Structure 1
Amino acid sequence: MATIESIQDAYIDYVLTEGAQPKSVYIFAKQNEMTEAEFYQFFGSFEAVEQNIWAGFATKTLTEIKAQEVWAQYAAREKALSFFYGFFELIKSSRSFAIYTINKQPKGFSTPRVFEQLKDIFENFADEILKEGIETAELSDRKFFSKRYKDALWIQFVFVLNFWVHDNSAGFEKTDEAIEKGVNVTFDLFQRSPIDNLFEYGKFLAKNGGFKEKMGF
């Protein structure tokens, strides 16, 4: 009997062997001793299979990192780093499939359809840790901008993913370095800075008469 896992495994094997999707669900099902009905019980299309595989990478990563004893002690930055490192360690064993699906996506600024489920999972995770970071004052709660933090983190994730695709260093050590530098820079921007202090000072002056009255001008 077909299962989600057996269909995914068969699909990955097919596309990596043939270099393209099966011509039809009927052909794919027949080659894997299942009926079309069994396939459609789990997936509506081959695209849905790919989306589910990528979402599965994220879900498995979150399950593994949240099971660590130190997870509850991590700050938001450390939780983000843990996800990035865990995710890219996990997909090493599926690199050929990852590159296949990424390379066939249309170029552009919008999120490729194959990443839609993955993005939803990632953004829910990002929301969770960023809210924790703001509540503990690890991150700055900036009006209007705080809501965009998760977007910046997603952009960083996509950047690292593309970097990893083209990384030919041993053990993908350059990707690990890109994660460390990229996530840390991103979180540095989320933290309070002299600009925040200047902005707060400007608001204080505006509420309390500004420069002219205080300086006697």
Structure 2
Amino acid sequence: MPKKNKISDSEIITFYMEYVVEHQSKPDSVEDFCQLYQFEDAIFYEYFRSFKDLEKTIYNLLFQNSLVTLKQTPEYHSFIKKDKLLSLYYTFFENLALNQEFVKLNLKGFENQLKALSVFSRFKRSFIGFIDELNLETISLNVEIIETIQKKTIKESAWIQLLFTMKFWLDDSSEDFEKTDIFIEKSINTSMELIDTKSLHNIIDLAKFLYKEKVK
């Protein structure tokens, strides 16, 4: 049978995810993979440098598709920041659930090392971009370096929280991932409250004082 001359990146992604689920492992090589699905490996390399590059695209697409779906919902734009974040989580984890066979196989063995996974690099940039868009409130300190650290800490904390939720989801055996939904609500509520809590004001106040003393 002649090989296909035209094939899209989304078709290649679909083939790859199907292969991983069916064979319970990654293909041995790009050449073998392309031969199985009857297209030239040169076409694969037009879109992706490697299987890892393809996987980076998959996780970023899962997130980006969730965000697009969410922003197309009319009521989303009137949500408060916490509800926007909650809605994104619910939508993203629904997408993970739809692709759970692939995701769980692909991440098998990495459950406790999600933070170090390089295949999340584009996904992380997209998520941090979303957190930037939310423009979560920080405490006004009039000390640029502390405010910069504060904003960076919020973004990194939000990313770690998402990874922790993914770890919880990977281990969740409840029906329709009900426990994950509960975990999402409780963890988001807690983190958003922490940003506004008086104790955080006191900690930042102390940091401001120590910074000024050091400058003097």
Tell me the TM-score range normalised by the shorter chain: 0.7 to 0.9
CA shift, 1:123, in A, is 0.6
Q: Establish whether residue 188 from structure 1 lines up as the match of residue 199 from structure 2.
A: no
- CA distance in structure 1 between the aligned counterparts of 2:18 and 2:85, rounded to whole angstroms: 32
Q: 1:1-217 counterparts in 2 under 5 A?
A: 1-105=6-110, 108=113, 110-129=115-134, 131=135, 133-134=136-137, 140-141=139-140, 143=147, 144-196=149-201
The structure with the largest alpha-carbon Rg is 1
TM-score by length of 2: 0.84
Q: Write out per-residue CA displacement over residues 155-181 of structure 1, whole angstroms, 9 at most, x where no aligned residue.
A: 110111011111111111100000000
**Contact between 2:19 and 2:26, CA under 8 Å: does it hold in 1?**
yes
Match in the other structure for 1:215:
none
Unaligned segments of structure 2, at least 5 residues: 1-5, 142-146
Which secondary structure does the structure 1 equivalent of 2:28 belong to? coil
Cα–Cα, structure 1 residues 196 and 173, in superposed 2: closer, same or farther, change >3 Å? same
1:74 CA drift (Å): 1.4
Change (3 A) 1:71 1:185: same
- From the superposition, tell whether residues 85 and 199 of structure 1 become closer, same or farther in structure 2 (CA, over 3 Å): closer
Q: Which amino acid aligns with 2:24?
A: G
The 1:195–1:41 alpha-carbon spacing in structure 2 relative to 1, beyond 3 Å, is closer
1-side partners of 2:82 and 2:72: how far apart? 17
Is the contact between residue 106 and residue 112 of structure 1 (CA under 8 Å) also seen in structure 2? no
> Following TM superposition, by how much is the alpha carbon of 1:190 offset from its aligned partner in structure 2, in angstroms?
1.1
Give the paired residue count. 199
TM-score (norm: length of structure 1): 0.83
Q: Distance in 1 between matches of 2:173 and 2:167?
A: 12
Q: Does the Cα contact within 8 Å between 1:2 and 1:38 map onto a contact in 2? A: yes
Deviation of 1:78 after TM superposition, in Å, equals 1.0
Q: Deviations over 1:105-163 (max 9, x none)?
A: 4854743011111111001101110x2x32xxxx5446332331011111110111011
Secondary structure in 1 matching 2:74: coil
Alpha-carbon contact 2:62-2:92 (below 8 Å) kept: yes
Runs of 4+ in 1 over 6 A off after TM superposition: 201-204
CA RMSD of aligned residues (A): 2.4
Cα 1:35/1:189, change in 2 over 3 Å:
same
Helix, strand or coil: the match of 1:103?
A: coil
